Chains A and B, each alone.
Chain A
Amino acid sequence: MTVFDRLEAVFPPDRVITDPVRLRTYECDGLTYHRATPMVVVLPETAEEVAAVVRACAEFGVPFVARGSGTGLSGGALPRSDGVLIVTSRMRRILSVDLDRRQAVVEPGVTNLAITEAVRDRGYYYAPDPSSQQICSIGGNVAENSGGAHCLKYGFTVNHVQALEIVTPDGEIVEISEDDFGYDLLGAFVGSEGTLGIATKITVRLMRAPESVTTLLAAFETIEAGGQAVSSIVGAGILPAAIEMMDALAIEAAEAAVACGYPADAGAVLIVELDGPAPEVESQLAEVIAICVATGSFEQRVAASADERAKIWKGRKSAFAAVGRISPAYIVQDGVVPRTCLGEVLAGIDALQDEFGIRVANVFHAGDGNLHPLVLFDDTAPGEGERAEVVSGRILDLCILHGGSITGEHGVGVDKARYMPRMFTDADLDTMQRVRCAFDPGGRSNPGKVFPTPRLCGEVPRVRKGSPGEIF
């Protein structure tokens, strides 16, 4: 008896994939330079089926990895060649929408945007909006605690998920809810990158659409001036829905890709979106424009319609892919710095470009200090890929040095596990490991992700002395 036999006993043949060619479809997620062919792929349709797979993995001591749409950018859904890949793409029903409770209950394979589309005509929406929202799954959003441009004002996935049904790594189906008295298990699970189990049912908060939305594009000669405008907007007590910034290189790429028509000679553009009750938006817009002018903006455009708003956003939303137009290869980095350190960190990135002869295009969620430097390189030039890798890592060091984080929204995954010890002490990581061991003592749920070195859990320790290092 093997895990294959068990899976084939539970699932019809079309939902267990063992053909090597078809398996390769799943060998990576959005981070394509980490690849592994899974041992087997299963396509469950219910929580009970997910639980059956997970129990089979427990029985045969096989690791498993959950995958939604595979759009993640940290290799969180990278399969294990010795493990089962559980793909949730067939669990895409919206189970209920209750506007009196302002809640929807959905399966994990439902796309982020599909939730909003289901309620938009009734004036509601689901707030977190990662750039991949047309295809990314809500289950993946839960695993990664996804953000998006508008999380500056509205928060992340964790602030919008109210309850989960999960399959634990032992194969039990358990509900965790924000309404439960006691530990915030829901808060610990969201963002755990698939290492604590698999969400099979997600209850999300629906929000009333704002009365008014307005989007401003402001062009600056330098990125420093743009940064000053951001600080002044925040300092004035304004909390926009989003504040995005792009530098000259990113603007050049976006122009080449989608002809977004941003002012050609701009050293930086700022996109500021304000939303809320009309009178609030109106007065804030006037204030934001005045601040931009005062900090040196030479052109401001206010979108007068939904079409014009979409046009402003098009350049920003296409920026990652657009960089392909100006560089054969690139690394998308994701780091966070305190907003007040933006200027210093950008100067540091400039210095890295000079030192290593590598270009970096900067796109960022300026309002919350979340940088997405795009490190450009030519993968046919000897040594350039390695130099780009070094620059990319040094940018994370800059973020840590300034009290920031190695990831704001893409997750740690397989990509950044080795950076975790630069941000956290052994004691911090050991303590997180206690949570892991409570949920997954066998270490089968997405092993090798988030944490730098695999640790064994052992038995639940009884009366003990000494440091926590001895427990694990």
Chain B
Amino acid sequence: MLGHTRVTIRDGGPADAVGGVVPRWVALPESVEEISVVLGACADAGLAVTPAGARTKLGWAAPPERVDVLLDLSAMHEVLEHVAGDLVVRVQAGIPLARLAEVLAGAGQELALDVPFPEATIGGTLAAPSPGPRAYRYGNARDLLIGVTVVLADGTIARAGGKVVKNVAGYDLGKLFTGSYGTLGVIAEATFRLHPLPADRRWLTFECEGWEDAGALLRSQLEPSAVEIDHPAEGLSMVAALFEGSAARDRAEAAREVLGGGELRADPPSWWGRPPGSPLASLRCRVAPHVPEGVSVRGSLATGVYLASGATDLDAWRSRLPGDARLVGLAGEFTGDRWGPIPSLPLTRRVKERFDPDRRMSPGRLAGGV
């Protein structure tokens, strides 16, 4: 059915399943145009499509209602343009972050995004964002993204943004597609602002009982790039703060004074930036959250964005959290409502209808059947 596209196509198998749904075919496009050709053919044939990168988060969110074609972007792994003097890079969506980091390090630069899985691709990191420690200082993927090329369900190729950091011309489609889990179209290329690699990095770690102990650090002017907590299901929590810059060591030492203790280290603790386990939930809470027994939580005390494991009854936990907190089941089995309240869901539905009226792009991956 897709043979006339000249794009590499193979039969799908159990190893290609998305949340248990096995695709009939796997397509491996090598260019934006090939993505467009595949999506155009799928539109003609009424086939459902799910884009995939390194598949590290393909099991996150809800499984799609149907997948005919898994659009595997792993053949699109090139750095298209890196102008070091502009601190900007344009890449194909299938490039793994670890590979990109190697290229940029050669110029003393980095894309300041921490991802839990180094093999994760740029496209997957945008479509299914995961929290990283240094988001406190540098923002999330959506904050570093300055341009995007997307392919819509009907094969339309559209660009937004550009390759300059400061740019307010037109709607920011890149941000819209961030968090879309493949339900709006395919992210094919992306352009990011970069940062110079810091001269030095130092971590300060300390054990504590509660969540408030790091407050003094956040109220200080020492400008940590990240302040993370590892709150295990049992035992003491550990807080770790990262300082970046030529005076990182001095600032980390000053932070130890502020806190009255702690250990200085040149490397992060082993849990730094790693998901705690399964079932995995995303917690956003700007004040110290209630944590049920048997649940472990890791994430940023600075931004209030955490990953939690061990909780299956999310409704029960939600009832103990402040009203503006958000708890969403990412991966695993949950009882009750995995999404919780999403006040903007009606608007989300309307956007989905305009971009994918036939509901062929990863249908049902998000709340409300989007």
Binding site for B on A (CB under 8 A): 100-103, 123, 144-145, 147, 151, 155-156, 158-159, 168, 172, 174-177, 179-188, 190-192, 208-211, 231, 234-235, 237-239, 276-277, 279-280, 283-284, 336-340, 365, 368-370, 403-412, 416, 420, 423-425, 427-432, 434-439, 450, 460-465, 467-468
Contacts and interface: CB of A to CB of B under 8 A. Distances in A.
The 5 closest A-B pairs by CB, nearest first: A187-B175, A237-B196, A211-B221, A279-B247, A431-B158
B182 to A, nearest CB: 12
B350 interface: yes
A93 B85 CA distance: 43
A174 B346 contact: yes
B354 A460 contact: yes
B370 interface: yes
Given A100-B286, A100-B287, A237-B198, 8 more contacts: A179-B324, A191-B172, A210-B221, A211-B222, A336-B166, A412-B169, A423-B170, A431-B158
Given A179-B324, A184-B178, A191-B172, A464 B357 contact: yes
Q: Which of B176, B223, B370 has the most CB of A within 10 A?
A: B176
B326 interface: yes
A188 B175 contact: yes
Contacts of A403: 162-164
A424 B326 contact: no
A327 to B, nearest CB: 26
Interface stretch (B21-29, B68-76, B93-101, B336-344): B336-344
A181 B164 contact: no
Given A188-B175, A462-B357, A432 B169 contact: no
Contacts of A337: 164
Given A211-B221, A338-B86, A407-B168, A185 B351 contact: yes
A428 B251 contact: no
8 contacts: A100-B286, A147-B168, A168-B347, A181-B366, A187-B175, A188-B172, A279-B251, A435-B171
Q: Which of A192, A436, A438 has the most CB of B within 10 A?
A: A438
B152 A280 contact: no
B367 A182 contact: yes
Contact of A432 (B83, B87, B160, B328): B160
A101 B171 CA distance: 29
Q: Which of B154, B158, B177, B222 has the most CB of A within 10 A?
A: B158
Interface in B187-223: 195-199, 215, 218-223
A420 B139 contact: no
B167 A428 contact: no
A450 B43 CA distance: 30
Contact of B343 (A180, A239, A437): A180
